[in-house]
Amino acid sequence: MQNNIFSGLFVGQNFIILKEVDSTNNFLKELLSNSKPLMEGTVIMAENQYAGRGQQQNGWHAEPGKNLTFSMLLKPAFLHLTDQFDLTRAISLGVFDALAPLLGGKLKIKWPNDIYYNDRKIGGMLIENLVQGGQIKNSIIGIGLNVNQDSFPAGLSNATSIKQILHADYDLKTLLSEICRHIEAWYLKIKAGNILAVRQAYLSRLYWLNESKSFKTQHNVFTGAINDVRDNGLLVIKNNIGEEIEFSLKEIEFLNKAVQ
């Protein structure tokens, strides 16, 4: 389905809206398994996604018709496998830049790819890279964003939405178009080799950057400050005795005051 709400070169030029689906990522994977090629930039949007997933198999709750739940297809074969976190950076920056004019300076990217306003989560993403012959053949990017939802289940005490922040409804397709436009711009930066600019921009927008905060590992709770993200995506925290420690996604938990 062609749709003229998208102003970019290729992201969203093939746009499919589904009334209901378990997961837009799953739907996109099924499309890719068919023999017919699927163009880069294809976007699948669901009005109701009833089995959305987040990082580490976490569920994603979205009230039907009120939020953005969509997936897009990119083909970053130009990225070396060791640099695949640069795609995470580009997608996160695209979502951030689309929301920044609305939400201002309290908007941050929580490592690795959640979108936060103050200490509350407004969106997240799940990036699934399909590797073939040492290259990323296809990347399926699922994004969930809380837009017009008024309230959330008790178990999601750290969630918020654009409506809760601005006290007004926002047009979903307008916002989707802006997100896709900004993602495309950052994606083309990494494709052109402007990796350093992408890494610096991502770090500068990071939640808790250079702030003394509490973190939890499998073995202890400690105080430290995020001061870097390695090229491969590992989070670097300097603890209160000056040691720099690297963490992968499953090794560290942010002790956020909004969820304690």
pLDDT in tens, 7-46: 888 999 999 999 999 999 999 999 999 877 899 999 999 9
Confidence at residue 9, expressed as pLDDT on a 0 to 100 scale = 87
The whole-number pLDDT of residue 64 equals 77
Residue 240 pLDDT greater than 80, yes or no = yes
pLDDT band for 259, please (50, 70, 90 cuts). very low
CA atoms within 13 A on the CB side of 244: 9
What's the mean pLDDT in 64-87? Answer: 94
Tokens of 192: 């052109």
Q: Assign domain 213-254 to a CATH class.
A: mainly beta
Residues 112, 250, 135, 194: what is their CA dihedral angle, to the nearest 10 degrees?
20
pLDDT of residue 136: 95
Q: Is the pLDDT of residue 52 over 80?
A: no
Please give the CATH topology (third level) of the domain spanning 15-204: BirA Bifunctional Protein; domain 2 (3.30.930)
pLDDT tens-digit readout, 87-110: 999 999 999 999 999 999 999 999
36-40, 161-165, 180-184, 253-257: which range is least confident on average? 253-257
Task: Give percent above pLDDT 90 in the chain.
Answer: 79
- Under the phi-then-psi rule, with left for phi > 0, alpha for psi from -120 to 50, and beta for the rest, what region is 233? left
- 219 vs 98 pLDDT, higher one: 98
Pairing of strands 120-132, 59-60: unpaired
Cβ-contact 94, 178 below 8 angstroms:
no
Mean pLDDT of the chain: 91
**Residue-wise over 83-111: b if at least 16 C-beta within 10 A, else e?**
bbbbbbbbbbbbbbbbbeeebeeebbbbb
Q: How far apart are the first and last CA of the chain?
A: 45
pLDDT of 55: 44
CB atoms within 10 A of CB 33: 7
What Cα–Cα distance (Å) separates residue 159 from each residue in 36, 81, 115, 165? 39, 33, 10, 11
pLDDT in tens, 109-142: 999 999 999 999 999 999 999 999 889 999 999 9
Specify the domain boundaries for CATH 2.30.30.100 within the chain. 213-254
